Amino acid sequence: MENHVVCVPFPAQGHIRPMLKLTQLLHFKFEFSITFINTHHIHQTLFKNHHRSPEDDDPKDILSAINSIVTNKLELPLKELLVTKLLDNYNSNSDCLQPRVSCMISDVGMSSFTLRVAEELGIRAVLLETASACSLLAYFHCRQLLDKGIIPLQDQSCLTNGYLEKSIDWISSLKRISLKDMPSFIRTLNPNDMNHMMLNIVMSNAHRALKSEAILINTFDALEQHALEDLSTIFPNIHPIGPLNLMVDHHISKKDTINSGPLMNSNEYMKWLDSQEPKSVLYVSFGSLVGVDQETFIELAWGLANSLTKFLWIVRSDQVIEKSCTIEFNRFKEEINGRGVLVTWCDQEQVLAHPSIGGFFTHCGWNSTIESISYGVPMICWPSAADQLINSWYCCNCLGIGMKMSEHVKRDYVERVVKELMETKNGKEMGTKAAKWRNIAIEATMSSHGSSYDNLKKVVNNVIKVHQ
Ligand SMILES: O=c1ccn([C@@H]2O[C@H](COP(=O)(O)OP(=O)(O)O[C@H]3O[C@H](CO)[C@@H](O)[C@H](O)[C@H]3O)[C@@H](O)[C@H]2O)c(=O)[nH]1
């Protein structure tokens, strides 16, 4: 019997990309029919034939998506879609002749309604976690921070007076992590603020995940062994199947791979990378959402320029450059002529895999982090919000493949950290460790006993496939 899976990603680049990779594996490797449910906005972003534009992944859209989830606006349309179009087994009235849906794979961020819909319609439910095991574990334990009265923070001064240095000693795999490295939503000051709202959402998601038949997570056994062990005592059905980018590289032929980002002309920056020395270029990108304020942006720019390191910097077209900064920014561009290349979007995996790349200055979104690990690239970790803080902590404090950059960025500081990663023995050692992690990641994704590949095969056979 043919099998049909319906996938429901959270509507943001950092979530769509891993879901698309999973669907490619299910379709090309395991021969599933797939229905991918997308918002109109994201669909246009993925398939329009131009570089990123300012409206792509506008944080306002993310907030409105969160609002639609919280106010439960998506449950009914999803149910109607499934009932009228997708559950009709080869119904001739249906405009898509597909076998009946047997399983729904949805993002953990959509689970507040997808699990209920799946249960009502008798479809099995699997969740995809696009963030790290460490962050999922942290979210799960946030309730104890509230119960113990550690959060909400008493007042604003807790953010600066050392309070966040307090360590948490009851999560064994997070080795005395301190509050400052926990996901940023714990920095709530009262039950009505945005952090509190997000904290409630991520905590509920983590607890609700228990009810799914399986949770697939974009990491691999060896990388987050202790966090995964802790998690599996809470969720026995958690299955690491990453890095999904390597799973796709190893199991899907190039001609079948779907471009999961805006289409782009990569010739120029790739040609420039081809002309650079091995490991001499720093790749700088802060993902699809993080914006940088004017002052910090200019400090970053001059820090990069003054380091005299070669760099490829993604300055998204939605990065605001105010009039008052244009002259300064133009001066910077003249200064770096030939030494630095700025583009609005790139094929990040292709860039990270390029031999000229020696470091990645990143905000530690989990996709960027695991992609960097997949290609053996050490990092400068400059987390901005959410899970990025704990991802950065893990790379710097546990894996030894990242240098932490504190929040307050000044040009001399940027220059120093960039030089340290790209030029010193310390930086080289991080590169060596990162290369080791790349080899372990490759092993995990191989069809001959790779842990991630085996895990995916097991979930496909035991949960996702219909057995008759
Ligand atoms: O020029 C670029 C820049 C980025 N990317 C890709 O875009 C994705 C960015 O994802 P990520 O690094 O995770 O950053 P965000 O877009 O910020 O991701 C959101 O989703 C992540 C996964 O849940 C969370 O870890 C982050 O905190 C959250 O901000 C990656 O796959 C990159 O390869 C490109 O292809 N080209």
The finding on whether 16 has its CB within 6 A of some atom of ligand 1 is no
| Percentage of the residues of the chain whose pLDDT score is greater than 90 | 76
Task: Give the confidence band of 59 by pLDDT, cuts at 50, 70, 90.
Answer: low
Nearest to 221 by CA among 250, 237, 242: 242
- The more confident residue out of 353 and 55 is 353
> CB-hemisphere CA count at 13 Å for 428?
4
Rounded mean pLDDT, 138-153: 95
Cα of 162 vs centre of ligand 1, distance in Å, is: 30
The atom of ligand 1 lying closest to the CA of 384 is 27
pLDDT at position 58: 61
The pLDDT tens digits for 244-296 are 999 999 999 887 776 655 445 568 999 999 999 999 999 999 999 998 999 99
The pLDDT tens digits for 387-442 are 999 999 999 999 999 999 998 899 999 999 999 999 999 999 999 999 999 999 99
Rounded mean pLDDT, 52-63: 59
pLDDT at position 453: 98
pLDDT at position 51: 44
The atom of ligand 1 lying closest to the CA of 17 is 31
In order of 38, 249, 301, 429, the CA distances from 54 in angstroms are: 20, 30, 20, 38
Average pLDDT, the chain: 91
Rounded mean pLDDT, 172-188: 95
The atom of ligand 1 lying closest to the CA of 364 is 12
Measured by CA distance, the residue closest to atom 17 of ligand 1 is: 287
The finding on whether 288 has its CB within 6 A of some atom of ligand 1 is yes
Task: Give the confidence band of 183 by pLDDT, cuts at 50, 70, 90.
Answer: very high
**What is the enclosing helix (H) or strand (E) of 221?**
none
Cα of 365 vs centre of ligand 1, distance in Å, is: 5
83 token code pair: 């009932």
- The more confident residue out of 48 and 267 is 267
Cα of 393 vs centre of ligand 1, distance in Å, is: 18
- The more confident residue out of 380 and 255 is 380
The finding on whether 314 has its CB within 6 A of some atom of ligand 1 is yes
Give the C-alpha separation, 438 to 48, whole Å. 33
Domains and CATH numbers, the chain: 4-134+199-260+445-464 (3.40.50.2000), 136-197 (no CATH), 267-442 (3.40.50.2000)
Task: Give the confidence band of 147 by pLDDT, cuts at 50, 70, 90.
Answer: very high
Cα of 14 vs centre of ligand 1, distance in Å, is: 4
**What is the enclosing helix (H) or strand (E) of 43?**
helix 40-47
The atom of ligand 1 lying closest to the CA of 343 is 1
The finding on whether 345 has its CB within 6 A of some atom of ligand 1 is yes
* Ligand 1 pocket: which of 367, 370, 374, 391 to mutate (most atoms within 8 A of CB): 367
Give the C-alpha separation, 208 to 108, whole Å. 9
pLDDT surpasses 60 at 111: yes
Measured by CA distance, the residue closest to atom 5 of ligand 1 is: 348
- Could you list the active site residues? 15, 107
